[in-house]
A = this chain, B = another copy of it.
């Protein structure tokens, strides 16, 4: 028997249930785990799901790709800005995108939730639903998790994936002569965050902060096209290309004219009176995929730059340039 209590909650309710809610404290750790587990759908790669000491997940390749991220309330999300469902989608997406950026197919998530005892149970429900639905986009399942008490809502997500016989696409394979391509949105989440900070929570672009719209298929396509390196753009396009350049020991030049400023991002920048290029070059959290490809490779995604040797006396890194090498004879495909 779960007691109920009546409370005014600052959470955006999910699903809308008014102000009557049952808290984590009323349910207890095992009750909450069972409740969350009951919301999880079966997924083919999850051979043994929640409820045992550990889960069992298919790894047909004989290698498993794995990544983990922490999200902290007030730092990575705000419960007055995002629903629990949004937070679940976002927490899953940022980890699934890391798996995809290795050229792997996501198979499963494991989730740790630290929550104060008075957290509304429907918040935990929404989180679980969001995690489940984002994972389902790529055929992955929620395989297990842990629930503990803490004064700070903290979500730990681990994603697993399978390489399906392919070599992992790392950050260190970019070579001079490669081209740089970009798949997915950039600058949207940064625009959304700026709008939220400006009190514009009802602006359509604010949703781009609440949860990313990740083009997982693009990462698979880039790996299949022979990407020599790939990264999930989470720290910002230039910063993340800088990580690739450093790991590969190369210079990456991004053509300023090739930076994709969408009409939506441009309009939001005009509304707030800022330069949209800051968001596009520096904003993270959209989880676009930036990859380097041999110049002769064919991909459906726009070329935004090129890889060169590191000039004498300089360091490996990524720079934005307005030089006209886009039009040089060796790079016709840049047009």
Contact = CB atoms under 8 A, between A and B. Distances in A.
Contacts of A230: 53
A75 interface: yes
A151 interface: yes
A201 B136 CA distance: 49
A68 interface: yes
A66 B143 contact: yes
Interface in A144-179: 144-146, 148-152, 154, 156, 158-161, 163, 168, 170-172
Contact of A63 (B57, B72, B148): B57
B59 A154 contact: no
Nearest to A61: B59
A65 B48 CA distance: 9
A52 B66 CA distance: 11
A64 B158 CA distance: 13
Given A48-B168, A61-B59, A156-B112, A148 B54 contact: no
B54 A58 contact: no
Contacts of A104: 54
Interface in A34-81: 47-48, 51-72, 75-76
A112 B158 CA distance: 9
A102 interface: yes
A64 B59 contact: yes
A158 B62 CA distance: 19
B112 A68 contact: yes
Number of copies: 2
A295 interface: no
Interface in A65-111: 65-72, 75-76, 98-99, 101-102, 104, 108, 110-111
Contacts of A99: 53-54
B148 A67 contact: no
Contacts of A221: none
A105 to B, nearest CB: 12
A334 to B, nearest CB: 26
Given A61-B59, A65-B55, A104-B54, A70 B148 contact: yes
A114 interface: yes
A54 B154 contact: no
Contact of A53 (B67, B71, B112, B143): B67
Given A47-B63, A62-B62, A68-B112, A52 B171 contact: yes
A143 B98 CA distance: 14
13 contacts: A52-B102, A52-B247, A53-B101, A54-B104, A54-B168, A56-B66, A56-B102, A57-B65, A68-B144, A69-B112, A71-B148, A72-B148, A156-B158
Given A68-B111, A154-B156, 10 more contacts: A53-B171, A53-B230, A54-B102, A56-B163, A57-B65, A59-B63, A69-B112, A70-B148, A75-B148, A114-B154
7 closest residue pairs by CB, A with B: A156-B156, A59-B59, A54-B67, A70-B112, A68-B110, A158-B158, A53-B101
